[in-house]
């Protein structure tokens, strides 16, 4: 029964048995709902980014004067490639799990995990590169209070995480949030892989691998979207 | 045809053996619901005390010298944030949502019980972090619950040092908790309805909570983004929301940020948030009215659609909180229109509640009294919203006591009356005991008449032009001395209502230990949660076999039926000889 | 029964409260009678709804109270009735929205002949600036603000030299002349609110906001800050005096200009060295003048 039909029926008529089973499994539905939330998060970050860039709410030009497009270190491209490859690995893992091929599943999972971890370390290294090049989170020399005693008006340097532009600040924020979500996927990967390596049955991990793979593909799409945003602005 | 039902798709429930497993680290939705409710009500009482302090200052300025201007703003801020987020949202969704959804749809528990348990403990953590704000140097945030930058993180605003940090961190943690809970509520409704429970056979309570949960999942990310960005502005010196400014005569290093960007993000969350509070209340009150009037909710299909439409439209009206913010004034045309349009499905719900009472058989029991109190105050509050939604009429009323009167009526009065009614209504199911009727009635009358006496005059003070968030009005030419008398009167009414809540707490606690054993279905309700084999329901809710549903939740006073209600799990047969088909 | 009576009494009581309440709008002192009309129309329509719905509620509670042998009527829905109610509600909503939007349309369209006044908010006081005889406000920037240059004016801008600066929190406005209030903030959000004027707007640091009005009634009015701006928010008060044009001109002529202020303070060299060249353009908002 279509959703519209389901929501316009007259439930007081003809009492009797009714209803069909849901099409999707429960964990899959849960993931679908969760993906809507994550989509919303990155959509809003995109809107904030675009509004900030266009100098929204500032006197014309005030932000324009400070919007330096951020540099794109080559490592960022490499990282994107690594993430793409890891998605391929996940896809192979999903197919292997569906087929029941334990050996293929094992190798696919190891490759996927390794590439995923490589991506995350690559991202941390990009941060390091940016800091080395002088691109920091905030635009205020000596501001950062992370790790400080009294956060009041005497700004003391301790943590060299400073002097940036809005684009850089957004870059740090967005890559951090993307990375945290990916870490969540890595946690599930760890759980599934340890089960597979210990010789557990494929059926037990099939759904985990399937859904985690989907989640991974989704985060790849998010990354490509965000990366595209950084490139175009 | 298989005898296996929808809800068998779930993994077998984990049955704990120890006290700790059963009541502390519990994965039973009923226990989690109680945990949420007790925590939310406790922190709500803290916020109530803060409001009493605020009223003491407003009613008798200068008398209570321990209330200084910075304290006053901190009370205002914490009161608002606690009430909206940590009480109302947590209680209605975490409390009522958790308790009612599985029982009303015929499931054994939520679909992700472990995550559900986690969501409560993360919520508790968020409350503890919030409360820590009272103990940090500088005290809690004093920027108003709306947390507007640049002031929230600058000198001149109380709590700008540490209080705002604890506030923002607490909100981020709450949002994680809410996401875990919301995932459960939505997925359970989609996946775990028992055989025969179609979407349109669910009671309105489930619809209200279900749609509110979806809205929350989509709206809270906006608050999350705003909170993280403001946190970075505060601790890392970024300028997401901070333009070039001088603070207390000193140039700051911020530049290029936009305070209005924060407002857009905040209200994109904030407006749906008020409907996240209102929609569960709407759904629940529909059930209170129909049960105690022995009549189906009038126009059930329209009621469901109105909930869905209100939920969807609520994402398109947010800037009616920003008419005087300095945003592009042309936006005012769009948002005034969308805001007044959302009044239409809301009005239809009001008509349908009234039409449910019309030609009903109304038992004026305590839950019904609270439902009536809801109707009266919500009609008032909803209508006052039309003044504020109409952009040019909002110009002189924004940031005055008219706004304070309006939002308390629709958020602080109507949903709270529904919550009281709902607690009285489901108490016998949850505890297996019955409360004292006389105390309940006294509690109702003092609360209902008292809150109206508090908030009605505020609208008039607002039309006069009295601003909100003022520590003291002082001698102000256009404010006559009678307005100061009004403030005194409001304070006295508030203190009376405050004290009267003691009756409620006493009744609930005393009855839990000494109340008479209650009938499993004392109100003769048709919905599924009243048909459990045990009262209170045991772990797993339904015994060995899940129920099968044959009818909608509102077969009351069906012509020809022997009783004036037919439970949802009664098969068609003699019970509905004359049932219309 | 008691409930029915209570609801009916509350309706009557609310009406009585409204009629007897000494708290109502301040007398209008500007051209924004259209806002007052829109509010009155909204009030009437809402009052009709409030009374009708609640008296219906009281009636239903009385007539359909539980009695032995009485049974409720069974009627799941009545789509015709619901459609009709939806239609008439929409008519009522439109009836409220139309005058509101018409008034708003006047609000966003500033008259061409409106003169300019700038109001500057800071924690916790007001200051004001008028363009001099050249009719153009000089550019300004928060980063120019120093103790000697509290308005943050750009010392290199010739248009700013004749601007009249008022720091005393008392603003005068000429009677019956439309004025566009340009609003600016040095630090946090504020809001320039005079209840008798009805129109107002937030002041947002980083941008210039505006509203316009024509003062129509001479007198002295209080300015209140209407956007929470810290602990001193409730003390951020000012005064506006509306007077006939000749008196206004006489007052304005006595106010110091920026040129006088700059000469009286630090030597010119320091000022120029500290001046920033990126500025917030104010000329775009002005009706005449070269910028």
List, as ranges, residues 383-412 from B with C-beta within 8 Å of C. Answer: 383-384, 386-387, 390-393, 395-396, 398-400
Q: Kindly indicate the confidence band of residue A141, based on its pLDDT and cuts at 50, 70 and 90.
A: low
- Whether residue A163 is predicted with pLDDT greater than 70 in this model: the reply is no
User: CA-nearest residue of chain C to B159?
Assistant: C230
- How does strand C219-225 pair with strand C237-243? antiparallel
The model's confidence at residue B54, banded by pLDDT at 50, 70 and 90, is very high
Which of A59, A139, A140, A153 should we substitute to test contact with C (largest number of C Cβ atoms within 10 Å)?
A59
- CA A164 to chain B, closest CA, distance in angstroms equals 8
Residue in chain C nearest B479 by alpha carbon: C23
**What pLDDT does residue A151 have?**
38
Q: Which residues pair with C193 in a beta bridge?
A: C224
pLDDT value at position B523?
97
Q: Which residues of A touch C206 (CB under 8 A)?
A: 57-59, 62
Report the C-alpha gap between C212 and C285 in whole angstroms.
12
Contact between B272 and C49 under an 8 Å Cβ cutoff? The reply is: no
Q: What's the pLDDT score for residue B133? A: 97
Average pLDDT for C45-71: 96
* Cα distance between residue A34 and residue C285, in whole Å: 47
- pLDDT at A140 (0 to 100): 64
Residue range C235-243: mean pLDDT, rounded: 96
User: Using the beta-carbon criterion (under 8 Å), do A59 and C204 form an inter-chain contact?
Assistant: no
Q: So what's the pLDDT on residue C262?
A: 83
- Based on its alpha-carbon atoms, the radius of gyration of chain C, rounded to whole angstroms, reads 27
CA–CA gap between residue A131 and residue A71 (Å, rounded) = 12
State the total domains in chain B.
1
Chain A and chain B share a number of CB contacts under 8 A equal to 201
pLDDT at A84 over 50: yes
Q: Do C206 and A62 touch (CB under 8 A)?
A: yes
CB-based contact C191:B154 (threshold 8 Å): no
Q: What gap in Å lies between CA C178 and CA A42, rounded to an integer?
A: 46
| Partner-chain residue, chosen from B350, B358, B380, that has the shortest CB–CB distance to C60 | B358
Residues 6+ apart with CB under 8 A from A184: none
Lowest mean pLDDT: which of A135-144, B230-239, C35-44, C96-105?
A135-144
Please tell me the predicted confidence (pLDDT) of residue B579.
Answer: 52
Contact check, Cβ <8 Å, A59/C208: yes
Domain A72-139+156-233 top-level CATH class: mainly alpha
Tokens encoding C211: 């509203």
Among candidates A19, A151, A166 on the partner chain, residue whose Cβ is nearest the Cβ of B196:
A19
- The interface pTM score, or ipTM, of the predicted complex is 0.93
B330–chain C Cβ distance below 8 A for any pair: yes
CATH number of the domain to which B423 belongs: 1.20.210.10
> Does a structural domain hold residue B243?
no
Which residue on chain C is closest to B455 by alpha carbon?
Answer: C14
pTM: 0.93
Cβ-Cβ contacts under 8 Å, A10 against chain C: 76-77
| A82 interface with B at CB cutoff 8 Å | no
Q: Which residue in the set A12, A58, A65 is minimally distant from C76, CB to CB?
A: A12
Q: In B95-214, where do the E strands start and end?
A: none
Rounded to the nearest 10°, the torsion over CA A102, A103, A108, A113 is: 80
Chain A's closest residue to B327, CA to CA, is A57
Residue B9 lies in a domain: no
Touching chains, B (3+ CB pairs < 8 A)? A, C
For residue B344, which residues of chain C lie inside 8 Å, CB to CB? 86, 89-90, 93
How many Å from the N-terminal Cα to the C-terminal Cα in chain A? Answer: 46
Inter-chain touch A59–C280, beta carbons under 8 Å: yes
Helix/strand number for chain A, H first, E second: 6, 0
Q: Do C280 and A10 touch (CB under 8 A)?
A: no
CA-nearest residue of chain A to B558?
Answer: A12
Q: Which of A99-103, B37-41, B87-91, B153-157 has the lowest mean pLDDT?
A: A99-103
Find out whether A52 and C206 touch, Cβ atoms under 8 Å.
no
Please choose, from the candidates B355, B277, B271, B257, the residue with its C-alpha nearest in 3D space to the C-alpha of residue B315: B271
Residue B8 has pLDDT above 60, yes or no: no
> Which of A15, A41, A164 minimises the CB distance to B551?
A15
Task: Report the neighbours of C using a cutoff of 3 or more CB pairs below 8 angstroms.
Answer: A, B
Min mean pLDDT across A169-173, B143-147, C8-12 is at: A169-173
Inter-chain contacts counted by CB atoms under 8 A, chains A and C: 20
What is the predicted pLDDT for the residue at A190?
A: 94
B292: pLDDT strictly greater than 50? yes
Residue of A13, A20, A26 best to disrupt the B interface, most CBs of B under 10 A: A26
Q: Give the β-pairing of C125-130 and C164-166.
A: antiparallel
Residues of A within 8 A of B581 (CB-CB) are: 13-14
Instruction: Please say whether the beta carbons of B53 and B96 come within 8 A.
Output: no
Q: Measured at the alpha carbon of residue B464, what is the angle toward residues B461 and B469, in degrees to the nearest 5?
A: 55
| Pair type for strands C170-174 and C237-243 | parallel
Percent above pLDDT 90 for chain C: 80
Q: List helix spans (H) across B60-112.
A: 69-81, 98-105
pLDDT per residue over B525-545, tens digit each? Answer: 999 999 999 999 999 999 999
Contacts of C207 in chain A (CB under 8 A): 57-59
Instruction: For A21-45, write each residue's pLDDT tens digit.
Output: 777 889 999 999 999 999 999 999 9
Q: What domain range is B346 assigned to?
A: 29-238+255-473+489-531
Lowest mean pLDDT among A16-30, B23-37, B488-502: A16-30
Q: Which of A21, A44, A64, A226 to mutate to test the interface with B (most CBs of B within 10 A)?
A: A44
Alpha-carbon dihedral B517, B523, B528, B534, rounded to 10 degrees: 10
DSSP per residue, C85-150: HHHHHHHHHHHHHHHHHHHHHHHHS--TT-EEEEEEEETTEEEEEE--TT--PPPB-GGG-BTTBT
Give the CATH fold of the C115-285 domain: Immunoglobulin-like (2.60.40)
Q: Does the distance separating the beta carbons of C186 and B340 come in below 8 Å?
A: no
Instruction: Report the pLDDT value the prediction gives residue B573, as an integer from 0 to 100.
Output: 80
Whether C148 and chain B come into contact, CB under 8 Å, resolves to no
- How confident is residue A149, by pLDDT bands cut at 50, 70 and 90? very low
Q: Nearest-CA neighbor of B334 among B344, B319, B313?
A: B319
Q: Is A145 on the interface with B (CB under 8 A)?
A: yes
Closest chain B residue by Cα to residue A40: B218
- Which residues from A are below 8 Å from B2, CB to CB? none
């Amino acid at each position: 029964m279509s959703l519209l039909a389901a929501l316009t029926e007259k439930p007081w008529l003809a009492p009797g048995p009714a209803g069909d089973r849901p099409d999707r499994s429960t964990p899959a539905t849960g993931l679908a709902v969760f993906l809507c939330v994550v989509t919303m998060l990155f959509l809003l970050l995109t809107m904030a980014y675009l509004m900030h860039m266009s100098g929204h709410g500032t006197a014309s030009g005030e932000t324009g004067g400070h919007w330096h497009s951020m540099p794109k270190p080559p490592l960022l491209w490499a990282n994107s490639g690594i993430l793409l490859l890891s998605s391929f690995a996940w896809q192979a893992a999903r197919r292997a799990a569906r087929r029941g091929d334990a050996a293929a599943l094992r190798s696919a999972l190891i490759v996927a995990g390794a590439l995923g971890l490589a991506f995350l370390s690559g991202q941390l290294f990009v941060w390091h590169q940016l800091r080395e090049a002088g691109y920091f989170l905030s635009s205020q020399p000596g501001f950062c209070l992370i790790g400080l005693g009294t956060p009041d008006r005497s700004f003391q340097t301790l943590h060299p995480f400073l002097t940036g532009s809005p684009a850089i600040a957004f870059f740090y924020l967005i890559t951090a949030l993307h990375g945290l979500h990916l870490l969540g996927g890595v946690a599930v990967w760890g759980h599934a892989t340890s089960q597979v390596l210990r010789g557990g049955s494929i059926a037990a991990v099939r759904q985990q691998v399937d859904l985690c793979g989907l989640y991974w593909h989704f985060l790849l799409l998010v990354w490509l979207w965000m990366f595209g945003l950084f490139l175009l602005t | 045809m298989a005898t296996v039902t929808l809800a068998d798709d779930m993994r077998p429930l984990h049955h704990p053996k120890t006290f700790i497993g059963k009541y502390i680290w519990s994965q039973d939705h009923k226990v989690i619901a109680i945990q949420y409710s007790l925590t939310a009500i406790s922190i709500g009482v803290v916020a109530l005390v803060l409001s009493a302090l605020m009223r003491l200052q407003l009613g008798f300025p200068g008398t209570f010298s321990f209330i200084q201007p910075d304290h006053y703003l901190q009370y205002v801020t914490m009161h608002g944030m606690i009430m909206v987020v940590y009480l109302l949202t947590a209680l209605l969704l975490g409390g009522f949502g958790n308790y009612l959804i599985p029982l009303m749809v015929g499931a054994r528990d939520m679909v992700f019980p472990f995550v559900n348990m986690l969501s409560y403990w993360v919520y508790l953590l968020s409350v503890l972090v919030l409360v820590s704000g009272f103990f940090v140097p500088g005290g809690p945030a004093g920027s108003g619950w709306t947390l507007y930058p640049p002031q929230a993180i600058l000198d001149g605003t109380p709590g700008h040092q540490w209080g705002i940090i604890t506030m923002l961190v607490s909100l981020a943690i709450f949002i994680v908790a809410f996401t875990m809970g919301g995932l459960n509520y939505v997925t359970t409704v989609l996946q775990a309805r028992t055989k025969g429970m179609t979407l349109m056979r669910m009671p309105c309570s489930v619809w209200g909570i279900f749609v509110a949960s979806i809205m929350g999942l989509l709206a809270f990310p906006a608050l999350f983004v705003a909170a993280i960005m403001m946190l970075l502005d505060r601790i890392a010196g970024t300028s997401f929301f901070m333009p070039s400014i001088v603070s207390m005569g000193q140039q700051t290093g911020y530049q290029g940020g936009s305070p209005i960007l924060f407002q857009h993000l905040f209200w994109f969350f904030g407006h749906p948030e008020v409907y996240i509070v209102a929609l569960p209340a709407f759904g629940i009150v529909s059930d209170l009215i129909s049960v105690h009037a022995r009549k189906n909710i009038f126009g059930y299909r329209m009621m469901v659609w109105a909930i869905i439409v209100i939920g969807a439209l609520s994402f398109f009206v947010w800037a009616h909180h920003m008419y005087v913010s300095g945003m592009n004034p042309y936006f005012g045309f769009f948002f005034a229109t969308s805001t007044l349009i959302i009044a239409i499905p809301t009005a239809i719900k009001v008509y349908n509640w009234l039409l449910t009472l019309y030609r009903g058989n109304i038992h004026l029991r305590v839950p019904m009294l609270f439902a009536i109190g809801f109707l009266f105050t919500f009609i008032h509050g909803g209508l006052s919203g039309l003044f504020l939604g109409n952009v040019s009429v909002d110009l002189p009323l924004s940031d005055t006591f008219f706004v304070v009167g309006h939002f308390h009526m629709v958020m602080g009065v109507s949903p709270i009356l529904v919550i009281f009614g709902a607690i009285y209504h489901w108490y016998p199911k949850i505890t297996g005991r019955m409360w004292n009727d006389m105390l309940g009635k006294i509690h109702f009358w003092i609360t209902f008449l008292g809150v109206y006496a508090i908030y009605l005059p505020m609208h008039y003070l607002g039309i006069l032009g009295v601003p909100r968030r003022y520590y003291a009005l002082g001698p102000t030419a256009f404010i006559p001395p009678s307005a100061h008398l009004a403030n005194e009167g409001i304070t006295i009414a508030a203190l009376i209502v405050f004290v009267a809540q003691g009756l409620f707490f006493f009744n609930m606690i005393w009855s839990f230990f000494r109340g008479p054993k209650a009938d499993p279905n004392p109100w003769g309700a048709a919905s599924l949660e009243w048909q459990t084999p045990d009262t209170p329901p045991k772990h797993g809710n339904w015994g060995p076999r899940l129920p099968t549903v044959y009818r909608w939740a509102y077969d009351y006073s069906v012509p020809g039926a022997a009783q004036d209600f037919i439970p949802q799990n009664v098969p068609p047969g003699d019970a509905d000889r004359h049932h219309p088909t | 029964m008691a409930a029915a009576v209570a609801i009916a009494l509350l309706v009557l009581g609310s009406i009585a409260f409204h009629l007897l309440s000494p708290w109502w709008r301040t007398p209008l002192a500007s051209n924004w009678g259209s806002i007052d009309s829109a509010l009155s129309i909204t009030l009437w329509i809402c009052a009709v709804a409030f009374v009708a719905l609640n008296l219906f509620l009281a009636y239903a509670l009385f007539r359909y109270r539980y009695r032995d042998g009485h049974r409720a009527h069974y009627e799941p829905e009545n789509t015709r009735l619901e459609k009709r109610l939806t239609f008439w509600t929409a008519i009522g909503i439109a009836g409220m929205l139309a005058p509101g939007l018409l008034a708003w349309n006047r609000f966003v369209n500033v008259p061409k002949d409106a003169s300019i006044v700038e109001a500057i908010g800071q924690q916790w006081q007001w200051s004001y600036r008028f363009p001099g005889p050249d009719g153009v406000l000089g550019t300004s920037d928060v980063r120019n603000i120093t103790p000697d240059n509290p308005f943050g004016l750009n010392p290199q801008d010739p248009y700013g030299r004749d601007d009249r600066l008022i720091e005393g929190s008392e603003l005068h406005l000429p009677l019956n002349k439309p004025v566009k209030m340009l609003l600016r903030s040095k630090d946090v959000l504020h809001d320039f609110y005079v209840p008798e004027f009805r129109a107002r707007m937030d002041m947002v640091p980083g941008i210039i906001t505006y509203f316009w009005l024509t003062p129509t009634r001479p007198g002295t009015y209080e300015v209140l800050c209407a956007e929470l701006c810290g602990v001193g928010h409730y003390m951020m008060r000012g005064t506006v005096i509306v007077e006939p044009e000749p008196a206004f001109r006489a007052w304005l002529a006595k106010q110091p200009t920026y040129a006088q202020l700059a000469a009286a303070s630090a030597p010119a060299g320091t000022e120029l060295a500290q001046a920033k060249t990126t500025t917030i353009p104010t000329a775009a908002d002005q009706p005449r003048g070269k910028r």
